[in-house]
Structure 1
């Protein structure tokens, strides 16, 4: 099966919904796909979904229009793939910092600080994810559900290790996710060069005081 047919068949679920686009087998294919997703992020982030055309994306990516259709069937499909891709980028950026943290409370501090760092470097994520609520609501909800699932898993591990309250669960995970999202908006997007480590430390006091095992 070619890169093109593999990508299209693997990225489409019944009903037309899309998941992450698997990496092509060739280095050239991987570069092209990465370029299209990066270009889509810039165009959708700057113009919005409805004002962006496929040709805007291919022009920015420096590829032929036909190359776009090798990987995506429509503008809607590349948008969905972009939401999934940006969610994966956040995970990839945050995970090493979380794994390096010495305990459960430190993991939440590391997760927030590294998330704020990511948002500062990729501010367009907020416009793209917010617009996904209306353009691709399934991808929008999946982004937050998978994010919260990761937080919930961390909290459960902390409880099992005796470092957090034994009753922590989904509510606390959603609360932490909401805090992180709005701190990212305030200091990552609307910020004025604040010290992200200090912001994360202040916010983490809420987590520490609320979740620490007594």
Structure 2
């Protein structure tokens, strides 16, 4: 008679061994993962100069926001440093006084605006298209940074040196762009001596159209679209500087301008 083979039940020792193997495998996985994290490249430490630049930028950004909210007169050092999340004493490692900060602030933030707009106008085929893109880009920036206009407008009194430098920085950019456009024949109706006046006209348009028209409207998005369309027409036609030509009425084949478009007779024409 054949012997029946009976499989013995798992012993406690076998179960312990199995559990130990699973735990060992899990532990090995954890160690491997920990080792992988440990071997991951660390971010390079900032140099002392980089840390200093970041701290200075943080102070300036906090100052811009505080001025936008309270104005220059109420932008105290304690308010600025609290907004920056830095100790009061840190301020004097970067600026000699509050006025020193104010004079540096607008030119610094102005360069930030110019850099932002420069990215928006990149690739423009001519000055007219560049100015259209720049107008829209400027509006985009000030919508994202609502403190800018108070920083700009109050600076003329609170930080005149900084305001003067900021205006000169913008004027320098415009002079170069207008000179290139003029030399390329894009503005045949203007003389080179008129380019600075054109630059100030364009600079003031950006400021006042936004700060006075857009900022006062109930629907900023729609007002911006309308303003940009109008500005595009102004730039496209006004910058050419050409005298308008008399229009010949429809159906008139003579080519003679209407009576009101013709000049009056000279006095000598009435002489016998």
Among candidates 200, 204, 214, match of residue 232 of structure 2: 204
Among candidates 120, 137, 162, match of residue 114 of structure 1: 137
SS across alignment from 1:186? helix
Deviation at 1:212, TM superposition (A): 2.8
Q: Distance in 2 between matches of 1:49 and 1:170?
A: 30
Q: Distance in 1 between matches of 2:174 and 2:237?
A: 17
State whether structure 2 residue 216 is matched by structure 1 residue 193: no
State whether structure 2 residue 206 is matched by structure 1 residue 183: no
Deviation at 1:181, TM superposition (A): 0.9
How do 1:22-171 residues align onto structure 2 when only pairs under 5 Å count? Answer: 26-165=49-188, 166-167=190-191, 168-171=194-197
Deviation at 1:57, TM superposition (A): 0.8
Report 1 or 2 for greater relative contact order, CA contacts < 8 Å, sequence distance ≥ 6: 1
Q: Whose helix proportion is higher, 1 or 2? A: 1
Checking the alignment, whether the CA contact within 8 Å between 2:110 and 2:166 is kept in structure 1 is: yes
- State the match for 2:8 in structure 1: none
Deviation at 1:52, TM superposition (A): 2.0
Q: Distance in 2 between matches of 1:118 and 1:211?
A: 25
Change (3 A) 1:189 1:86: farther
Gaps of 5+ in 2: 1-46, 243-272
Q: Distance in 2 between matches of 1:130 and 1:107?
A: 25
Gaps of 5+ in 1: 1-23
TM-score (norm 1): 0.81
Deviation at 1:176, TM superposition (A): 1.0
Q: Distance in 1 between matches of 2:48 and 2:197?
A: 41
TM-score (norm 2): 0.65
